[in-house]
C-alpha cells in the first residue's frame, strides 16, 4: 500500500542540515502560530499543528531522525512512498489505519503502527524504539518561560510568591509558587503543568521561572559567596580592632588586623548563600576600604599633623 511521503524538514521550514536548536526554535515558532487555543474553530490550523507536532516528534529525536534520513532525498513532499519489505530497522502494519492514531499514515508506516485490532501492533510493540508512540498520547503543550525577581535574602532562604498565569483561551489565574533556597540568578524553577495546553486531551506544558536577582544596597554575589564592602578609618586600618559587619544572618563581629590596606579581604566562613538541596553554604567576604574623612575638627587635625611630623622625621 502506498502512502504519501512527508518532508518533515519542509514542514518545519528548516534545512536537512539544521541543528537541534534550529529545529526546536522553528517548531516553537510554528506551534505558537497554529496552536488550537489561538485558532479556535479553525480546522486547517489544527491540521497544520498536527503536522508540525509530527515533524518535530521525528526530527527532535536523533534516532528517529537518523532512520528518517535513511530514506534519502529521492522522495519529494506529496510523492507516493512504498516501504520495501526488507527495509531494515522498521516495522510496517497497514491494517491499523483508520484508527485514532495521532500521527499520519506515513509516520506509522515508517516507525511502526501501534494501533492494530487488539490496540497495539505486535511488531511495533516489541521491535524498534518507536513503539511508544500510541493513540491517546496527544502532543504535550509548549513550555513557557517567565521572569521572577528575588532579593538576595530570598535566594538564601527561599520564598513563596503569588504570580498570575495567563493561558491562551483559558484566561488568568493566581498561582502560589514556592522558590527553594539556594537558587541562583539565571537558574530556572519548574512549575509543572502551568503552561499552554497541548493537543486536545494532551498534557499542558511546564512553566519555567527564570530567576533574576534584585540589586542589594550592601551585598554583591560572587558564585556561592556574598561580598560586602567595609569602610574603616585610617586609624583603625593602622591600629586594628573589632568592628560589626552586617550579614544574611544579622550582625557579626569581625577583627580588622593592624596595618590593613584597602582591598584586603576578610572571610566569614559559611555566611554566604546555601547550595541548592545541600546543607553547605558559601562564605561572606568583607572587602576593606580605608575611608579618608572629608572633614576633621581641630583636635583631629592636630593629631594628623603630629603624625605627619613623625613621618617626616623618620625620613
pLDDT tens digits, 80-119: 555 544 443 333 333 333 344 567 777 776 765 443 333 3
Any residues with CB less than 8 A from the CB of 30 and at least 6 apart, and which? 12, 13, 48, 52
Q: Are strands 159-167 and 171-179 parallel, antiparallel or unpaired?
A: antiparallel
Classify residue 139: in a domain, yes or no.
no
* Residue 254 belongs to a domain: yes
Domain count within the chain: 3
| Out of 124-128, 181-185, 204-208, least confident range | 124-128
Q: Tell me, what's the pLDDT at 69?
A: 83
In the listed set 213, 235, 260, which residue is the last one of a domain according to the structure? 213
**Cut 0.95: pTM above it:** no
Q: Is the pLDDT of residue 175 over 60?
A: yes
In a domain, residue 12? The reply is: yes
Which has the minimum average pLDDT: 61-70, 72-81, 302-311?
A: 72-81
Task: State yes or no: pLDDT of 13 exceeds 90.
Answer: yes
Q: 166 in a domain, yes or no?
A: yes
Same domain, 60 and 85: yes
Report yes or no: 258 and 290 within 8 Å, Cβ to Cβ.
no
Top mean-pLDDT range of 30-34, 169-173, 287-291: 287-291
- Shared-domain flag, residues 184 and 230: no
Domain boundary among 186, 213, 240: 213
Say yes or no: 205 and 297 in one domain. no
Using CA atoms, how far apart are residues 75 and 55, in angstroms rounded to an integer? Answer: 16
Residue 45, pLDDT score: 87
Q: What are the tens digits of pLDDT across the range 58-72? A: 899 888 888 888 765
Distance set, CA 158 to CA 34, 150, 196, 228 (Å)? 38, 9, 26, 21
User: Do 176 and 231 reside in the same domain of the chain?
Assistant: no
* pLDDT above 70 coverage of the chain, percent: 75
Better-predicted residue by pLDDT, 290 or 122: 290
pLDDT surpassing 90 at residue 252: yes
Is residue 199 predicted with pLDDT exceeding 80? no
Same structural domain, 101 and 116? yes
Tell me: pLDDT of 237 over 60: yes
Residues 28 and 117 occupy one common structural domain: yes
Can you spell out the DSSP letters for 20-54? HHHHHHHHHHHHHHH-GGGSTT-HHHHHHHHHHHH
The reply to whether 135 falls in a domain is no
Tens of pLDDT, residues 200-210: 566 788 889 99
Distances (CA, A) of 230 to 122, 151, 220, 221, 268: 73, 21, 13, 16, 13
pLDDT the model gives residue 129: 33
pLDDT-based confidence at residue 241 (cuts at 50, 70, 90): very high
Q: Is residue 137 one of the residues assigned to a domain?
A: no
237 and 158: one domain? Answer: no
Helix (H) or strand (E) holding 214: none
Indicate whether 182 pLDDT > 80: yes
Taking the CA atoms of 249, 251, 253 and 255 in sequence, report the sign of the dihedral they define. positive
Q: Does residue 134 belong to any structural domain of this protein? A: no
Domain match, 85 and 171 both: no
**Structural domain range at position 233:** 220-314
Q: What is the pLDDT of residues 127-170, one digit of tens each?
A: 333 333 344 455 677 778 889 999 999 999 999 999 888 765 56
| CATH number of the domain that residue 308 is part of | 2.60.260.20
Amino acid at each position: 500500500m502506498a502512502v504519501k511521503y512527508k518532508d518533515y524538514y519542509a514542514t518545519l521550514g528548516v534545512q536537512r542540515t539544521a541543528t537541534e536548536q534550529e529545529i526546536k526554535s522553528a517548531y516553537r515558532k510554528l506551534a505558537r502560530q497554529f496552536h488550537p487555543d489561538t485558532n479556535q474553530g479553525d480546522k486547517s490550523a489544527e491540521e497544520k499543528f498536527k503536522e508540525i507536532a509530527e515533524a518535530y516528534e521525528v526530527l527532535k529525536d536523533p534516532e528517529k531522525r537518523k532512520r528518517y534520513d535513511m530514506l534519502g532525498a529521492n522522495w519529494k513532499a506529496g510523492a507516493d512512498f512504498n516501504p520495501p519489505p526488507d527495509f531494515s530497522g522498521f516495522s510496517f502494519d497497514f491494517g491499523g489505519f483508520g484508527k485514532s492514531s495521532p500521527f499520519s499514515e506515513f509516520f506509522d508506516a515508517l516507525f511502526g503502527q501501534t494501533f492494530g485490532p487488539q490496540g497495539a501492533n505486535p511488531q511495533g510493540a516489541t521491535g524498534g524504539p518507536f513503539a511508544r508512540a500510541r493513540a491517546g498520547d496527544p502532543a504535550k503543550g509548549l513550555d513557557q518561560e517567565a521572569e521572577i525577581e528575588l532579593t538576595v535574602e530570598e535566594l538564601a532562604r527561599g520564598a513563596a510568591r503569588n504570580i498570575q498565569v495567563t493561558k491562551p483561551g483559558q484566561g488568568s489565574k493566581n498561582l502560589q509558587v514556592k522558590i527553594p533556597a539556594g537558587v541562583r540568578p539565571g537558574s530556572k524553577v519548574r512549575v509543572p503543568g502551568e503552561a499552554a495546553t497541548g493537543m486536545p486531551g494532551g498534557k499542558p506544558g511546564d512553566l519555567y521561572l527564570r530567576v533574576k536577582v534584585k540589586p542589594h544596597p550592601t551585598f554583591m554575589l560572587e558564585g556561592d559567596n556574598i561580598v560586602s564592602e567595609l569602610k574603616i578609618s585610617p586609624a583603625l586600618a593602622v591600629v586594628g580592632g573589632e568592628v560589626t559587619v552586617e550579614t544574611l544572618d544579622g550582625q557579626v563581629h569581625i577583627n580588622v588586623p593592624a596595618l590593613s590596606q584597602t582591598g584586603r579581604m576578610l572571610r566569614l566562613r559559611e555566611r554566604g548563600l546555601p547550595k541548592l538541596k545541600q546543607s553547605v553554604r558559601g562564605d561572606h567576604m568583607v572587602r576593606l576600604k580605608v575611608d579618608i574623612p572629608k572633614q576633621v575638627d581641630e583636635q583631629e587635625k592636630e593629631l594628623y599633623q603630629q603624625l605627619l611630623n613623625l613621618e617626616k622625621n623618620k625620613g
